[in-house]
Amino acid sequence: MSLKALTTAAALGALGVGAAQAARDLSIYPAAQCAALWLGYSDYAARSLYLDVDPTDATRTAAFRAVALRLGTAPRTKIDHFIAGQRPQMETLVEAMIFGRDRQSADVFEALGETCKSFAKDHPETRKLS
């Protein structure tokens, strides 16, 4: 399977989970999904020639995870399992966007980034993230 096909599947999976979960489980989507996004981004940056590791990615990850835990719409183990499962998918998404210059991946990344940014405004743990 090609990188583009894998990325598309991962991206659609992430958004599919997000859309289904949004109305009933804010700890999972968007909070834990945003934590996974920044972990995956940081993972790709750590092995990429195109990005520098940004220490604020760890801060973002921790802040979104803290929101997920505080909201408590899912147990801690489910939140952590979700983040761990989404982390490699988010890394693949970032790789396809940066290295593969895949437009669909970039669109998904931008949409999820906007969701995270909007969600962050409503929570004290994430409100001051840049």
Q: pLDDT tens digit string along 28-86? A: 999 999 999 999 999 999 999 988 999 999 999 999 999 999 999 999 999 999 999 99
Q: Where are the domains of the chain?
A: 30-121
From residue 108, give the alpha-carbon distance in Å to each of 7, 70, 75, 76, 91.
10, 27, 27, 26, 13
pLDDT per residue as tens digits for the range 86-111: 999 999 999 999 999 999 999 999 99
Scanning 75-120, the segments in alpha helix (DSSP H) are: 76-98, 103-120
pLDDT of the residue at 23: 57
Contacts of 20 (CB under 8 A, 6+ apart): none
Contact of 53 with 7, CB cutoff 8 Å: no
pTM of the complete model beyond 0.85: no
